[in-house]
């Protein structure tokens, strides 16, 4: 009995990944590309579907108490339904297929689409670029400025200046201070604006996360304090729906905060053995990648129905992981301390695991500070990465390759900043100039 159950699970795993389109394409490529052959191929696949259903349905009822029962039942029903629907329109559709369009035309006629990675198609002609400082816009700031963030429409800028948060009005590259927030008790390490609402979140060495809201008088005040970490908050990410905050801390934990009337901690991941330094959420919003001092990368996935997150992969690296950033659902970049390269990790088509595929050459120097997170600006295909004494600006080309277009040298690794949502402006602070400096995007 146990052997049968194990076999059934293996079969279910295989069939759950069954793709009508891929099966048809493989058969089509390996045979003569004629309409007659195509009809034969389709009928053969239909027979396979019906055969599977007839064999599994009687046996499956014996296991109706098992966890995978409903999923298997749904799969078998779908197989039969697809066959029935196709029988009604098969003749009409196949006749209209042109030989030179092959499988793509058939895919369109049958309206069969595979779930694909979310991608943005760029119609723009990507040109070389650099960022040039706007000298007249620089303002003196003697306090250590560990975190900087723009709001969605690039009208407001916030900066964590030691324990204070300074709020600036931002207009066409000119900033003007309008408010100072003093509620944190220690240095502010991370700031993130919400895109849908006039709110932002902050994380501090005082172990707290704060939610800030703008009132009718355009002034900011603390809306809620999230306590639960036992160490400094080093990184925060926020999902698109703005009902999930994920936090990383020196206390070696990753916490998942969800919003129902108020924010509360739903889950804690404890798989890291040292301080967590970097977090990034993918486009599909179902995977988190983390890195830290333990030379370990974690891939954490949302499990769906119960909304819990689970570590699905661990990757050992040679040095401390300082910064990590998802480029899309299937690719992320990683910066390790003191390295003159950024590593690119991509999913393997066979086992769906992330593996390192290449390195991007950059400039670095001594890197003693993990703050200033990596940022990918999708609209301009630009990866922003602080490495040691440099800010590296990297273009992801249309062929998928990465090219470092500019490396700005600040001659200090006490260097922090961020980029606007559209990539038009880069904001930096460093302890050499003791200035908040504004850089504007220029195409060459």
Q: Reduce the secondary structure of 124-144 to three states and give it as a string.
A: CCCCCEEEEECHHHCEECCCC
Query: Looking at the predicted structure, is the pLDDT value of residue 362 above 50?
Result: yes
Q: What are phi and psi of 137, to 5 degrees?
A: -95, -10
pLDDT value, residue 126: 81
User: Token pair of 310, please?
Assistant: 């689970």
Whether this model's pTM surpasses 0.75: no
Nearest by Cα to 144 from 127, 163, 171:
163
Give the mean pLDDT of 249-266: 95
Separation of alpha carbons 163 and 205, rounded Å:
9
Separation of alpha carbons 355 and 344, rounded Å:
8
Give the mean pLDDT of 320-341: 96
Separation of alpha carbons 430 and 410, rounded Å:
7
Which pLDDT tens digit goes with each residue over 89-144?
A: 444 443 444 444 444 443 343 332 333 333 344 435 688 999 999 999 999 999 99
DSSP, residue by residue, 317-363: -SS-EEEEEEEETTEEEEEETT-SEEEEEEE-TTT--EEEEEEEE--
Higher pLDDT among residues 97 and 234, named by residue: 234
Q: How confident is the model at residue 349 (pLDDT cuts 50, 70, 90)?
A: confident
Nearest by Cα to 80 from 57, 106, 110, 111:
57
pLDDT value, residue 169: 94
Which of 48-62, 207-221, 384-398 comes out lowest in average pLDDT?
48-62
Give the mean pLDDT of 40-55: 57
For residue 337, the tally of other CB atoms under 10 A from its CB is 21
Which of 123-137, 174-188, 250-264 comes out lowest in average pLDDT?
123-137
- For the chain, give the percent of residues with pLDDT over 90: 63
Q: What is the layout of strands, in order, in the sheet containing 254-259?
A: 233-238, 244-249, 254-259, 263-269
Q: What are phi and psi of 127, to 5 degrees?
A: -115, 160
Per the prediction, the chain carries an average pLDDT of: 82
**CB under 8 Å to 329, separation ≥6 — which residues?**
117, 118, 282, 283, 284, 287
Burial 203-218 (b: 16+ CB within 10 A, else e): bbbbbbbbbbebeeee
What DSSP character marks residue 405? E
User: Distance of alpha carbon 165 from its chain centroid, rounded?
Assistant: 27
Q: 162 near 144, Cβ under 8 Å? A: yes
Give the mean pLDDT of 178-191: 97
pLDDT value, residue 104: 43
Q: How confident is the model at residue 77 (pLDDT cuts 50, 70, 90)?
A: low
pLDDT value, residue 113: 34
Show the beta-strand stretches assigned E in 154-262: 156-161, 164-171, 174-181, 188-193, 199-204, 209-214, 220-226, 233-238, 244-249, 254-259
Query: Looking at the predicted structure, is the pLDDT value of residue 180 above 70?
Result: yes
Which residue do the tokens 């100039």 mark? Answer: 433
Residue 10, judged by CB atoms within 10 A of its CB (0-12, 13-18, 19+), counts as exposed
Nearest by Cα to 431 from 417, 408, 412:
412
β-pairing, 188-193 vs 174-181, is: unpaired
Q: What is the layout of strands, in order, in the sheet containing 390-396?
A: 375-377, 382-387, 390-396, 402-409
């Amino acid at each position: 009995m146990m052997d049968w159950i194990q076999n059934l699970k293996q079969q279910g795993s295989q069939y759950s990944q069954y793709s009508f389109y891929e099966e048809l394409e493989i058969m089509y490529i390996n045979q003569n590309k004629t309409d007659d052959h195509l009809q034969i191929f389709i009928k053969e696949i239909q027979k396979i579907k019906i055969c599977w259903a007839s064999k599994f349905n009687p046996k499956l009822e014996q296991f109706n108490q098992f966890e995978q029962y409903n999923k298997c039942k749904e799969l078998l029903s779908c197989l039969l339904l697809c066959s029935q629907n196709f029988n009604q329109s098969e003749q009409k559709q196949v006749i209209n297929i042109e030989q030179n369009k092959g499988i793509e035309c058939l895919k369109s006629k049958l309206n069969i689409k595979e779930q694909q990675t979310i991608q943005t198609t760029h119609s723009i002609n990507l040109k070389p670029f650099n960022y040039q400082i706007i000298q007249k816009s620089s303002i003196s700031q003697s306090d250590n400025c560990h975190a900087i963030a723009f709001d969605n429409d690039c009208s407001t800028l916030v900066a964590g200046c030691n324990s204070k948060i300074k709020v600036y009005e931002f207009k066409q590259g000119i900033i003007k201070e309008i408010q100072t927030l003093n509620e944190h008790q220690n240095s502010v390490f991370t700031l993130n604006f919400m895109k849908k609402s006039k709110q932002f979140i902050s994380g501090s060495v005082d172990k707290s996360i704060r939610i800030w809201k703008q009132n009718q008088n355009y002034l900011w005040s603390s809306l809620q304090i999230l306590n639960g970490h036992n160490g400094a908050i080093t990184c925060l990410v926020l999902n698109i729906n703005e009902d999930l905050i994920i936090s990383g801390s020196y206390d070696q934990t990753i916490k998942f905060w969800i919003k129902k009337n108020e924010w509360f901690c739903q889950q804690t991941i404890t798989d890291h053995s040292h301080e967590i330094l970097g977090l990034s959420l993918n486009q599909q919003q179902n995977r988190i990648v983390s890195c830290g001092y333990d030379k370990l990368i974690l891939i954490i996935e949302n499990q769906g129905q119960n909304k819990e997150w689970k570590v699905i992969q661990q990757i050992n690296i040679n040095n401390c992981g300082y910064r990590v950033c998802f480029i899309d659902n299937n690719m992320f970049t990683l910066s390790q301390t003191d390295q003159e390269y950024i590593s690119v990790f991509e999913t393997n088509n066979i086992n769906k695991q992330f593996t390192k595929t290449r390195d991007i050459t950059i400039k670095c120097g001594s890197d003693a500070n993990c703050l200033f997170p990596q940022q990918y600006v999708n609209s301009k295909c630009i990866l922003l990465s602080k490495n040691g004494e440099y800010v590296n600006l990297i273009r992801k080309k249309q062929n998928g390759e990465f090219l470092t277009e500019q490396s700005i040298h600040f001659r200090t690794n006490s260097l922090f900043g961020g980029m606007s949502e559209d990539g038009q402006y880069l904001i930096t602070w460093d302890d050499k100039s003791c200035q908040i400096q504004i850089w504007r995007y220029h195409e060459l």
